[in-house]
Structure 1
C-alpha cells in the first residue's frame, strides 16, 4: 500500500516522518502523517507521532485525542498507552491517566517508562503506597536512572519519609549533577526540614541549571514566605510570572503572599485567575477559599473548600482542615471539632488536623488522641520539621490539660527549641531598637500641634503583648452596635514599612507627611467600618507605633491591655503562633522582650495625652466586667450598651490565638496560672525579676497599684464563674 503523491509505502512514509521530526522539520513530518491517515484512517503509528508533535507544540488536548485513537488499535504498543497516561496526567485527568498507565504495564511488565509514568500518576492521585511500589520497581529495573530516583524521592517525601527521600534526591544528583528538578525538589525538602538557607541555595542551583523550571521559583518563594520575607517571596514569584503569566502555582503563591500582606483585593484577583486557568485544581480552589475567608465571604469560601475537597491528590486534606478552621473562627466549636475528626478519619497522620483539634479539645487521662499524637513523633512517625514542631506544642497542651506539668514542659520546651532553631534573632539588637524608638519620639514631637484630620477618631487601637487579653477587650467593645471589630490589621505596619520603618519614620514626620499617612490609613480601613462609629484595630504589636499614631491620627484612641507579666509570657511560650512572634520561643529572650515592651509603654504613658491612651488590666476585666466595659465605652465616646457584658454571645469572625476562649463567659483560672508551672520557668522568672516563692499579690491590691488606671476605679469584685476567656 503506497501513499498518494509520494509513491511511498506506509512504512516508508512513517520512517521519513520520524526522520523529519527528529531533524526539527515538523511541517514535513505532519504532512507525511496526514497522507498516511488519508490512506489508512486510524493508523496508530501516524496518530502517535501526530500526538507527540501536538504535545511538543503545547496543544495538549489535540495530543491526547491523537493518542487515544492510536491506543485503540489492537496491536498498539504499550508505550503508546504509557505516553497517553503521561499526557492525561499533565492535563489533570488523573483517572484516565491511571487507567491508561495500568493498561500499559499490564501489556509490558518490563517497561521502565511505563512503571515510572504510573508511579507519578499514583503519586499525584494520593495513592502513595502503590506509587512507591511502582517507582521502587523502576529503580530496581534501572538503578542508574536519575529521573526514577527523583520521582521516588517525591513519593517518599509525601509519605513523610524525609531521610529516604533526601537520599534518592542526592542519588539522582550523583547520577546527573546538573539535574534541575532534583535540586528543586531537594530545596522543598530542606525547607520542610527547617533548613531555609540550604533550601534557598538548592533552589538557586535549580534555576541556574534551568532558568525556566517553574517549581524552583515556587520553592524559593516558599522558603521566603516561611520566613515572612514577603518582598523576597514576591520577587521570586514575579520572576516566574514574567515568562509564564498564567502559571497556576505561581498565581496561587502570589495570592497567598498578598493575603498575608492584607492586600486582599489583589490577592483575590490572582486567586481567581489561578482558578480560571485550572478550575479543577484543588490547590487553587483552596487558595481562593483562604482569600475569601480573609474577606469574611464565608459562604463563597466554604464553596471553594468544598470544590477543593472533591478534587484529586493532596488538596482534599487541606480543604477539610481549612473548613474546620473557618468554622472555628465563626465560633461553631462543635462543627469545627467534627470537621477535624472527619479529617483524622481519612488522614490520621495529619499534623495540622491534630494541632487544631487539640486547641478545641480538653484532654483527660488515657485520652487516645494524646497517644496518637505521641506516636506521630515517635519512630516511623512524621519527619517534616514544621509538623513535628506543631505536634510538640499540641502534646504539651494536652499534658497541661491533664495536669502533668513535667511532661507538658518536656514537650513544650522541645517544641520551642525546634521553632527557635528555624530563624535568627538578636536580643541585643532588639534592645537597641527599642531604645532608638524611645529616642526618636520625644515629648517635644508628640506635643507639637498636629494638622486636623477628618474622621481620625474612627479607629480605636487595642495594643499590648500577645496573649495579654487584647482579643477579650476587642470582643467586649465589638459587642457594642456602634463598633466594628476589624481584628488584627497589618495596615499600619505596612504603611510604616513603606515609610522606612521605625524609628526612621520619625525623621519624616512633617505635618504634610503626617496627614498623608493618616489619610492612607483611613482610606484603607474606612470601608470595613461601614456605618459603625468606631473601628477596632487589634494588632497587639501596634504598641510600637503609639507615638506615630498620635501624630498621624490625632483623634484616635489607644487602649493598652496589661496582664500579669508571667501569665502573659507563659501564655506566649505555650503557643505556636500563626504570625511570627520571634521573641517568644526562648524563655530568656521572651523575658528580655517583655522588659523592653514595659520600657516603651512607660515612655508612651509619660508623653501621650491622657484622653488618647488608656490602660486596662486583664485581671480587672475578669474581676468586674461591667465596670471595665463602661470605662472602655466611655473612653471611646460611646453610650453604654449592656451587650458589652454579654460579649461571648456576639457572633463575629475571630482569627487570633484566643479565638476559642472569647466565645465563652469569663473565667478566673487564668489569673496566677503560672504558679503551677514555676519550677519549669526558671529563665523566664529570672529575666522578669520574679521570685517564685513570693506570695501572689491580691488582685484588688494589684489593680489599685496599676499605673494604667487613668480614669474611674474598679468596682466591688463579683463572683466569677470558672469557665473561659484569655
Structure 2
C-alpha cells in the first residue's frame, strides 16, 4: 500500500522522505509521527523501523533501538547502512557475536561501505580477533587516509596487539589531522600509561575530558593512570566523576570494584562487581572483575565460575580470565589443576608472555628451559611489551636464573625489574625510619603497664609478624594445620581499626583506656565472622610488627609470634620477588637494607616491653632444622593440645594468597638457608646497608 488515508494522500516514500528530513533538521516529534504513520500502513517497512531505531538510540533507549533495528534488518530489502547501524548498536550493548554478523552482512552487501568496514574492524577488535581487525582498519585507512577517526581506531588495534610504537604513531596522526579529537587524546593517555609515562598520560586524559566532559573512556583511563601510580583515592575520585553522569556505566562499575579490591574493601567491591554484571550480563570484563571480588572474599568456586564465564564471552579478556583461574587454583593448593589450566591457556594463546610469567611459581627452572628463551626474546623484540609486562618479565627471568644457578643473569634482570617498579612508587626511606623510631619511643614500660588490662578481652587472635619472606607463611601453615586453628591470611583489620581512631603513633600517648578498648573491639568486629568456631584465629600480616606494641593494649588476650630469618636471606627473598601487594621499601637494595635495620631496631625496642607470656620469637632456621620441636613450641604457646597434623602442614588444604604459595605446599627443605652467599658479589648495596663487611665474607657467619 503506497498511500496514507489522510489529507493530501501522500505516498509512503514521500512520508519517509519527510520523516528523515524532519529528523535531520532536529524536529524529532514530526519525524516520529510520520514514521509511526508509515508503520500503521506497512508494519514491516524497514526505512520507518530504521528511523525509529536511530531515534531510540539517540534518546538513550538501547533496548528499543535494538528491537527496531533488528526488525528493519529482517527485511531482505534492508540497506547495507542499516545493517552497519545495527552492528554498532549491538557492539555498544556488548552483543559482539550479533554485531559481527550484522557488520559482515553490511560489507557483503556494499563492499565500498566505509562505515561498515570501520564498524566491523572495531567489533573484531573488541572480540579479540585482532589480526582480522587490523586487516579491516588498514583497508579503511588506505581508502580514507585523511580521516582521523580511522587512525584512532587503527591505533586501538595496534595497542591490543602490543605494537605500541605503531599505536602511538596512529594516535598522533589522528591528532595531527584533528588536534581537538578527545577520543584520540584519551587513547593516547592509556598508551602512555602502559609505557610508564604517567605525567604525560594524565595530561592527555585531562585534555580529553576538557574537550568532552562526558567521554567515559577518558575518566576510566585517568583512573587507570592513578591506579598505576598507587593513588587509589584519586582513582576513585575520577570514577565518581564519571558515575555522576553515567551511574550504570559497566566499565566504571568494574573499575571501581577493582580499586575497592586493592584498598581491601572486598564486600563493597563485590556489590559493585555484581552491579556491573547486572547492567551488562554479556560483558566479559564485568564477569572477570566479579571473579576477582569473589576470590578476595574466599568464595573460590563462585570465583572460578565467574572466570569461566568471562573466558567464554567474546572480548579481549579471555587470556586474562583463564590466567586468573589458573592462579586461583594454585592459591587453592591444586597445583596439578593449575598447571593444566596454564597449559590450556597456552594452547589457546601460544607463546603468551603473560601466561609464561604467571606460571613462574609452578616450576623450578633448568638452564635449558624453553620459557627462559621465550621471555628473553620478548624483552629484545622490536615490538616492546608494556612497562608492566617488562617488569614482570625481568622478575620472572630473575627467578628462573636463580633456579638455574646463574647469578649474573639473575641480578641483571632483578636489578632492572626492581628499578622499573621503584620509578613508579613514592617512598622516603628516611621518613619511614623516623616513623619507626617514633613508634619505638611511644611504647614505654610506663604506657604498657598503665593500660595492660585496657583492651578488649579475647584470647582468640594470634598475630604473626615480621619481615615479608621471613617464614611467616610457613609458621601460619603449621598452626593452621591444627584442627582448632583458622589461618586467616594477611588481614588489614588491625590497620583499619587503628586508622578509625586516630593517627598512629602520634595520638597513642593521648588515648585513654576506652580508646584502646575501642580499637580492640573494632578489630574483633572485623574478624569475628571468620571461622567463628575456631578457638584461635591467625592473622598473618607481617607488617603488623609496626603495631606489635599496641596489640597487648587493645587486645589483652592476644598472642604475638615474631618470625625471624637471616637478614640477608630475608632481604634477598624480598628483592627477588614480584609481590602482588606493594612493599615500597624492597625495590632498591640500599633502601631494603636500611628498612631492615629500622625494623630490627623497632623489634629490639618492643622486645623489652611486650608481655613475655604473650610474645615469642621463632627463627626460620630453627623451624627448618627441627620442625617438631618448633611446631610443639608454637602449639603450646597458643594454649592448645598437640595435633600431629601440624607436622604434615604441606598436606593441609587451604587457600594461601602470598608470595610463598608454592613453598608451603612442600615438606620442610633447607636449600633456602644461607642462599645469599652464592650471590654475594651482586649484593653490594644491600650488604653495605646492613653493615656487613664484604671483604671478610669468607670468614663471617651468616648475619
Normalization by structure 2: what TM-score? 0.96
CA distance in 2, matches of 1:244, 1:322: 29
Relative distance call for 1:641 and 1:196 in structure 2 (3 A) is same
Does the 8 Å contact 1:157/1:189 carry over to 2? yes
C-alpha deviation, 1:61, in angstroms: 2.7
Does the 8 Å contact 1:456/1:518 carry over to 2? no
In the alignment, structure 1 residue 340 sits paired with structure 2 residue 349: no
Does the 8 Å contact 1:496/1:505 carry over to 2? no
Relative distance call for 1:421 and 1:449 in structure 2 (3 A) is closer
C-alpha deviation, 1:41, in angstroms: 3.8
C-alpha deviation, 1:587, in angstroms: 0.7
CA distance in 1, matches of 2:505, 2:352: 43
| Aligned residue in 1 for 2:4 | 3
CA distance in 1, matches of 2:78, 2:370: 54
| Aligned residue in 1 for 2:118 | 116
| Aligned residue in 2 for 1:667 | 669
C-alpha deviation, 1:451, in angstroms: 4.6
Say which of 236, 241, 245 aligns to 1:239: 241
C-alpha deviation, 1:387, in angstroms: 0.9
> What whole-Å deviation, never above 9, does each CA across 1:296-327 have from its counterpart, x for those lacking one?
22221111111112111122212211111111
Relative distance call for 1:348 and 1:377 in structure 2 (3 A) is farther
Normalization by structure 1: what TM-score? 0.93
Does the 8 Å contact 1:392/1:412 carry over to 2? yes
Relative distance call for 1:277 and 1:550 in structure 2 (3 A) is same
Does the 8 Å contact 2:103/2:120 carry over to 1? yes
Does the 8 Å contact 2:454/2:516 carry over to 1? no
| Aligned residue in 1 for 2:391 | 389
CA distance in 2, matches of 1:143, 1:472: 61
Higher mean alpha-carbon deviation, 430-439 vs 590-599, is at 430-439
Relative distance call for 1:234 and 1:384 in structure 2 (3 A) is same
Say which of 306, 312, 322 aligns to 1:320: 322
Say which of 18, 24, 27 aligns to 1:25: 27
- Secondary structure in structure 2 of the residue aligned to 1:492: helix
Does the 8 Å contact 2:97/2:314 carry over to 1? no
Higher mean alpha-carbon deviation, 626-635 vs 209-218, is at 209-218
C-alpha deviation, 1:508, in angstroms: 4.8
| Aligned residue in 1 for 2:448 | 446
C-alpha deviation, 1:496, in angstroms: 3.1
CA distance in 1, matches of 2:344, 2:375: 16
CA distance in 2, matches of 1:496, 1:174: 53
Relative distance call for 1:139 and 1:496 in structure 2 (3 A) is farther
Does the 8 Å contact 1:672/1:696 carry over to 2? no
> What whole-Å deviation, never above 9, does each CA across 1:29-52 have from its counterpart, x for those lacking one?
011112223333433322221111
CA distance in 1, matches of 2:20, 2:379: 55
C-alpha deviation, 1:469, in angstroms: 0.6
> What whole-Å deviation, never above 9, does each CA across 1:177-218 have from its counterpart, x for those lacking one?
332222222222222222333333332222222222222222
Relative distance call for 1:694 and 1:375 in structure 2 (3 A) is closer
| Aligned residue in 1 for 2:427 | 425
Higher mean alpha-carbon deviation, 77-86 vs 532-541, is at 77-86
CA distance in 2, matches of 1:518, 1:620: 32
C-alpha deviation, 1:239, in angstroms: 2.5
Unaligned segments of structure 1, at least 5 residues: 703-726
Relative distance call for 1:501 and 1:138 in structure 2 (3 A) is farther
CA distance in 2, matches of 1:572, 1:138: 50
> What whole-Å deviation, never above 9, does each CA across 1:372-421 have from its counterpart, x for those lacking one?
22222222354211011101111121122221111111111111111212
| Aligned residue in 1 for 2:189 | 187
- Secondary structure in structure 2 of the residue aligned to 1:535: strand
Does the 8 Å contact 1:450/1:511 carry over to 2? no
Higher mean alpha-carbon deviation, 339-348 vs 474-483, is at 339-348
Does the 8 Å contact 1:187/1:219 carry over to 2? yes
Matches within 5 A, 1:74-93: 74-93=76-95
Say which of 15, 40, 43 aligns to 2:42: 40
- Secondary structure in structure 1 of the residue aligned to 2:486: strand
C-alpha deviation, 1:369, in angstroms: 1.7
CA distance in 2, matches of 1:73, 1:529: 61
| Aligned residue in 1 for 2:623 | 621
Does the 8 Å contact 1:157/1:165 carry over to 2? yes
Say which of 493, 496, 505 aligns to 1:494: 496
| Aligned residue in 1 for 2:697 | 694
CA distance in 2, matches of 1:306, 1:661: 27
CA distance in 1, matches of 2:538, 2:33: 70
Q: How many residues align?
A: 700
| Aligned residue in 2 for 1:203 | 205
CA distance in 1, matches of 2:260, 2:447: 34
Unaligned segments of structure 2, at least 5 residues: none
> What whole-Å deviation, never above 9, does each CA across 1:450-471 have from its counterpart, x for those lacking one?
4544543221110111111100
CA distance in 1, matches of 2:201, 2:616: 46
C-alpha deviation, 1:75, in angstroms: 4.4
Does the 8 Å contact 1:451/1:515 carry over to 2? no
CA distance in 1, matches of 2:143, 2:509: 68
| Aligned residue in 1 for 2:553 | 551
- Secondary structure in structure 1 of the residue aligned to 2:608: helix
C-alpha deviation, 1:10, in angstroms: 2.7
- Secondary structure in structure 1 of the residue aligned to 2:612: coil
CA distance in 2, matches of 1:240, 1:578: 28
Does the 8 Å contact 1:85/1:98 carry over to 2? yes
Higher mean alpha-carbon deviation, 294-303 vs 591-600, is at 294-303
Relative distance call for 1:501 and 1:333 in structure 2 (3 A) is farther
CA distance in 2, matches of 1:687, 1:232: 35
CA distance in 1, matches of 2:701, 2:437: 33
Matches within 5 A, 1:21-420: 21-420=23-422
Does the 8 Å contact 2:53/2:67 carry over to 1? yes
CA distance in 1, matches of 2:446, 2:614: 17
Relative distance call for 1:567 and 1:335 in structure 2 (3 A) is same
Does the 8 Å contact 2:186/2:205 carry over to 1? yes
- Secondary structure in structure 2 of the residue aligned to 1:356: helix
| Aligned residue in 2 for 1:566 | 568
CA distance in 2, matches of 1:324, 1:42: 50
